Amino acid sequence: MAAMERPFVEIDGVSLRYGGAEGTLALRDVSLTVGRGEFVAVVGPSGCGKSTLMKLVSGLWPSSAGSVIVGGREVDRPLPLVGMAFQNPTLLPWRSILANVMLPLEVVEPHRRRLRGERAAYEEKARRLLAMVGLAGFEAKHPYQLSGGMQQRASLCRALIHDPQLLMLDEPFGALDIFTREDLWSQLQGVCLTLKPTVILVTHDLKEAVYLADRVLVMSGRPGRILVERRIPFPRPRSLDDSYRQDFQDLVHELRDHINTARKGEERPDAA
Amino acid sequence: MPPETGPSAARGAANARRVEAMATAARRRRRLQRLLPWLVILGSFLLWEAVVRGFAIDAFILPAPSAILASMIQWWQPLLENAWQTLMTTLIGFGLAIVFGLLLGVAIGSSALLYHGLYPLLIGFNSVPKVAVVPILVIWFGIGTVPAIITAFLISFFPIVVNVATGIATVEPELRDVLRALGARRTDIIRKVGLPRAMPYFFASLKIAITVAFVGSILAETVGSNSGIGQLMMLASSRFDVPLVFAGLMVTAIMGVAMYAVAVAIEERTTGWAMRGQADQGVASVPGG
């Protein structure tokens, strides 16, 4: 995809140390690029700095060294062209689902200015997004009236409502049961095939990574480094049945071996 | 599915009867729950009456509820006028406490610097007995309504500040990150997450604040005022009219409960999302509401 064009996300030699010079080194010399419209999954053992990577790219944390460039611009603060979804749905409990989905519009320009005048059009857009993930009819409900999976779908809609060019998903399905998760994979794939955003997905579920991504990056244990990069050749749309095919399973196994190596490296005390 | 005959049909009917019985029991319990506060109040008055009559206690020591009621009927006009005065004084002080409590609570809750800077002063201020402040207020503002308003304000201000500050300071970092990642300004985060999040805390504090506001205004009225329920009770006790003193207490209690009920009603209406599932158990409701 988009081989000659300048990559949309360029992370170059980034390190991050929490808590000053003596603090924990969370990331060490990480470099990666994500092309426009590409879906990249980052996998790794727990505590390897995957979520830290998300914080860096979204501008929530500054890096200690190296540069993060998104859309040709150095990230020095949060960028409105990014949409985020986390492991917890983080919906505002006092707002209806529709109002929750529309929250970014009240913050991000130029929607913020237009919202008052064109509320109906924006509401229609939010309803369309909700319908896309099977939440039509739940617009007026409050988050506590929805199941965890439904809340997570609403959270996904919220991440997409302001047409972000970059979608950052931090273990978005981590807290869901396997059936709901598989359901949401195909819905996320559908949404991505329609809207074609650039996506960075952080996950610890290898099957999820292989199912969804164009490219999978394996990170080492803390401090995190990119160990392996693997292109996923399967054509889209991928179905759940595809995930039981031998070549799919082999790929998951191959990644699994890399993770095992990564975890062994972590257990050596001198690795810290 | 086999047709519903024989034992399975019988079991179905039995289950239906059980569900029906459970629903009836639940209805009966809800009715009892609504009536219970009134029954308890009535019961305690009857007990009181019986004790006073049974032990032939002098009205000067403890008047019977019937004597208090008679006094209330006899003195209904001054009671009403002074109750009105006290209610207005309390509500003005309470209103001021809401405005300044919200403002200061938001400021303290959203800034760690302000929090650390102002909190010791606030605690110290709140520890000063208000009864000691009233004479100073009387020196400054003279005998009358103003010291009572200020005392009601001072005493009800603190719980509001502390609660609102807590509500804002304890916003989940994930919720804040959702907005921060969109490039939201600090004021956006306070307006869209902090304030709504603090509302249940705010209303919980109002329920405390309104009752202590009455304490403040009546306190000030007893020390230095020429009207209000507090002053009426001082006059009555100086004339050894104990039933009228108790009548004043009754009126105050009624006003307190009524205002509390108003606070609860507003709370349930505005922050139902925080009380989900409790509404039908009537946990937060109160008689007279």
- pLDDT tens readout for residues A213-261: 999 998 887 777 888 888 988 888 888 888 888 998 999 999 888 888 7
Question: How far apart are alpha carbons A170 and A82 in whole angstroms?
Answer: 13
Q: Render the burial of A208-232: b for 16+ CB within 10 Å, e for the rest.
A: bbbbbbbbbbbbbbbbbbbbbebeb
Q: Are residues A108 and B183, on separate chains, in Cβ contact within 8 Å?
A: yes
- Cβ contacts below 8 Å, chain A against chain B, sum to 61
B184 interface with A at CB cutoff 8 Å: yes
Instruction: Return the residue in B171, B175, B180, B182 with the most chain A beta carbons within 10 A, the one to mutate for interface testing.
Output: B182
Across residues B22-28, what is the average pLDDT?
90
B172 interface with A at CB cutoff 8 Å: yes
* Closest-approach residue (CA) in chain B for A162: B182
Assigned token pair, A136: 């039509």
Across residues B86-105, what is the average pLDDT?
95
Of A174-178, B118-122, B274-278, minimum mean pLDDT range: B274-278
B182 interface with A at CB cutoff 8 Å: yes
Question: How far apart are alpha carbons B13 and B253 in whole angstroms?
Answer: 51
B282 interface with A at CB cutoff 8 Å: no
Assigned token pair, A107: 């913050």
- pLDDT tens readout for residues A13-65: 888 888 777 778 888 888 889 999 899 999 887 777 777 888 888 888 888 88
Q: In this model, does residue B1 exceed pLDDT 70?
A: no
pLDDT > 70: what percent of chain A? 96
Cis peptide bond prior to A164, omega within 30° of 0: no
B289 vs A114: which has the higher pLDDT:
A114
Q: Are residues B273 and A94, on separate chains, in Cβ contact within 8 Å?
A: yes
- pLDDT tens readout for residues B244-258: 999 999 999 999 999
Contact A192, A184 (CB under 8 A): no
Q: In this model, does residue B46 exceed pLDDT 90?
A: yes
Residue B110 binned pLDDT confidence (cut-offs 50, 70, 90): confident
Assigned token pair, A106: 């009240």
Q: What is the DSSP letter of A124?
A: H
Across residues A72-86, what is the average pLDDT?
84
Helix axes B229-238 and B242-270, enclosed angle (nearest 10)? 160
Across residues A166-182, what is the average pLDDT?
86
CB atoms under 10 Å from CB of B205, counted, come to: 27
pLDDT value at position B3? 54
**Cβ neighbours of A84 in B, within 8 Å:** 177-178, 181
* Closest-approach residue (CA) in chain A for B199: A94
* Closest-approach residue (CA) in chain A for B177: A60
Which of A79, A86, A142 faces B174 most closely, judged by CB atoms?
A: A86
**Cβ neighbours of B201 in A, within 8 Å:** none
Assigned token pair, B57: 């206690």
CA B25 to chain centre: 31
Look at domain A1-78+199-260 and name its CATH class: alpha beta
Rounded to the nearest angstrom, the minimum Cα separation between B19 and chain A is: 24
Question: How far apart are alpha carbons B234 and B248 in whole angstroms?
Answer: 10
Would you say how long chain B is, in residues? 289
Question: How far apart are alpha carbons B83 and B77 in whole angstroms?
Answer: 10
Rounded to the nearest angstrom, the minimum Cα separation between B106 and chain A is: 18
Beta strands A39-43 and A198-203: pairing type? parallel
Q: Are residues A92 and B276, on separate chains, in Cβ contact within 8 Å?
A: no
Contact B236, B267 (CB under 8 A): no
B248 vs A269: which has the higher pLDDT:
B248
What is chain B's mean pLDDT, rounded? 87
Residue B91 binned pLDDT confidence (cut-offs 50, 70, 90): very high
pLDDT value at position A88? 85
Q: Are residues A107 and B178, on separate chains, in Cβ contact within 8 Å?
A: no
Which of A59, A84, A142 faces B273 most closely, judged by CB atoms?
A: A142
Q: In this model, does residue A270 exceed pLDDT 70?
A: no
- Coil, strand or helix: which one is A116? coil
Cβ neighbours of residue A160 under 8 Å, at least 6 residues apart? A83, A129, A167, A191, A195, A197
Residue A271 binned pLDDT confidence (cut-offs 50, 70, 90): very low
Q: What is the DSSP letter of A24?
A: -
- pLDDT tens readout for residues B157-178: 999 999 999 889 888 888 888 8
Rounded to the nearest angstrom, the minimum Cα separation between B161 and chain A is: 22
pLDDT value at position B280? 41
Query: Phi, psi at residue A20, to the nearest 5°?
Result: 80, -175
Assigned token pair, B283: 């946990």
Residue B242 binned pLDDT confidence (cut-offs 50, 70, 90): very high
Across residues B108-118, what is the average pLDDT?
89
Which residues of A lie inside 8 Å of B (Cβ-Cβ)?
A: 58-60, 77-80, 82, 84, 86, 88, 90, 92-95, 103-104, 106-108, 142, 144, 158, 162, 168
Q: In this model, does residue B275 exceed pLDDT 80?
A: no
Q: In this model, does residue A1 exceed pLDDT 50?
A: no
Question: How far apart are alpha carbons B230 and B257 in whole angstroms?
Answer: 17
Question: How far apart are alpha carbons A43 and A51 in whole angstroms?
Answer: 10
SS3 for chain B is CCCCCHHHHHHHHHHHHHHHHHHHHHHHHHHHHHHHHHHHHHHHHHHHHHHHHHCCCCCCCCCCHHHHHHHHHHCHHHHHHHHHHHHHHHHHHHHHHHHHHHHHHHHHHHCHHHHHHHHHHHHHHHHCCHHHHHHHHHHHHCCCHHHHHHHHHHHHHHHHHHHHHHHHHCCCHHHHHHHHCCCCCHHHHHHHHHHHHHHHHHHHHHHHHHHHHHHHHHHHHHHCCCCCHHHHHHHHHHCCCHHHHHHHHHHHHHHHHHHHHHHHHHHHHHCHHHHCCCHHHCCCCCCCC
pTM of the model: 0.76
Helix axes B229-238 and B76-110, enclosed angle (nearest 10)? 130
Is the four-CA dihedral A101, A104, A106, A109 of positive or negative sign?
negative
B184 vs B104: which has the higher pLDDT:
B104
Is the four-CA dihedral A28, A32, A38, A41 of positive or negative sign?
negative
Query: Phi, psi at residue A199, to the nearest 5°?
Result: -125, 135
Which of A79, A92, A168 faces B196 most closely, judged by CB atoms?
A: A92
Residue B276 binned pLDDT confidence (cut-offs 50, 70, 90): low
B275 interface with A at CB cutoff 8 Å: no
Question: Within chain A, where are the H helices?
Answer: 50-58, 97-101, 111-114, 119-132, 148-160, 178-195, 206-212, 246-267
Which of A90, A142, A162 faces B174 most closely, judged by CB atoms?
A: A90
Q: In this model, does residue B101 exceed pLDDT 90?
A: yes
Rounded to the nearest angstrom, the minimum Cα separation between B104 and chain A is: 23
Beta strands A65-70 and A73-74: pairing type? antiparallel
* Closest-approach residue (CA) in chain B for A54: B181
pLDDT > 90: what percent of chain B? 51
